[in-house]
Structure 1
Amino acid sequence: MDAAYLSTLSALAGSTVGGLTTALSAWIGQRVSARAGLVSSHLARRQELFRDFIVSASKEYGEALTTSEPKIPELLELYALLSRMRVLCRPETVAAGEKLMRLILDTYLAPNRTFKELRDLMTVGDGIDPLKEFSVAARQEIEVAHESRF
């Protein structure tokens, strides 16, 4: 083989390898960026869902402490949020949400609390923070999702 052909083939091979390397690098970078965006979007959706559930559940729990007449549309909204969590969230978070829903329903069936009884509950610290278990589960889920993003 002639030296000119050999150097030409070497140059072509080098250009081909360089071009493929650049294309592969760009493809991998784009893929990683797209995945990070997708994970970030899912994380934002879950955070919004958790916020909505916590706000609605706290209002319903407060209502359940002082009245025996549940507002069915608000309870259904909570169940809808819980169903969305079943699609987007880990089973541990859903289980904590279901436990909170049962507590709210049980609280409606219990005798109404007076302001003094609520103050006593806060002083003792027993049973006044029904959202704690759910909040901890939601925080753990967000931390796991955040770590998987990087």
Structure 2
Amino acid sequence: MTMDPATITAVSALAGSAIGALSSVATSWLTQHRQNRMQRLEQEASRRERLFGEFIDQASRAYADGVVQERLDDPSKLVPMYTAISKLRLFAMPATIGAAEAVLEHVVTTYETTSSALAARHSRVAAHDILRVFAEACRAELTSVR
């Protein structure tokens, strides 16, 4: 069976159009899929940034209070930190959670230590930076998410 040249031309034109349309659809789908993925990653990074900032705020307040107070007179002062750590456990990486728990432990220790003993133990300014390891873990995590 021989095909008419006009039929071959028409089939070729239709096949070319179908291939062009298919590649256009595939390109659009891939572009949309990548944009959606990037948007989700950015939202995840923003959520983590908010949680990290919330924990830093709570830890700073509790640490400052612990330095001034001789003892923990109201345990509810630590509740916001426990809340923030629990939120971190939902989304953060284990290294970041471990750093947050170390900060919490340091804050509790600060409440248990007298002001004069605390001043003797922390003679350098860098020793007061209890959030450094946590902040570095947060930065590493955000870099890996983005």
Both proteins in one fold, TM over 0.5: yes
**Does 2:54 align with 1:45?**
no
Partners of 1:6 and 1:86 in 2: CA distance: 64
Contact 1:56 1:74 in 2 (8 A): no
Normalised TM-score (structure 1)? 0.87
Pairing partner for 2:32 from 16, 30, 33? 30
| 2:23 alignment partner in structure 1 | 21
| 2:90 alignment partner in structure 1 | 87
Structure 1 residues without counterparts, runs of 5 or longer? none
Deviation at 1:65, TM superposition (A): 1.3
Structure 2 residues without counterparts, runs of 5 or longer? none
Residue 137 of structure 2 aligns with an amino acid whose one-letter code is A
| 1:110 alignment partner in structure 2 | 113
Deviations along 1:46-88, one digit per CA (max 9) or x if unpaired, are 1111111101101101111121125433311111111111111
What are the residue-to-residue correspondences of 1:110-129 with 2, within 5 Å? 110-113=113-116, 117=119, 121=122, 124-125=124-125, 127-129=127-129
Larger-gyration structure (1/2): 2
Residue 28 of structure 1 aligns with an amino acid whose one-letter code is L
Task: State the percentage of identical aligned residues.
Answer: 27
Normalised TM-score (structure 2)? 0.90
Deviation at 1:113, TM superposition (A): 4.3
Deviations along 1:102-142, one digit per CA (max 9) or x if unpaired, are 11111111113499x38x93x52352111111111111111
Q: Deviation above 4 Å: which 4+ runs of structure 1?
A: none
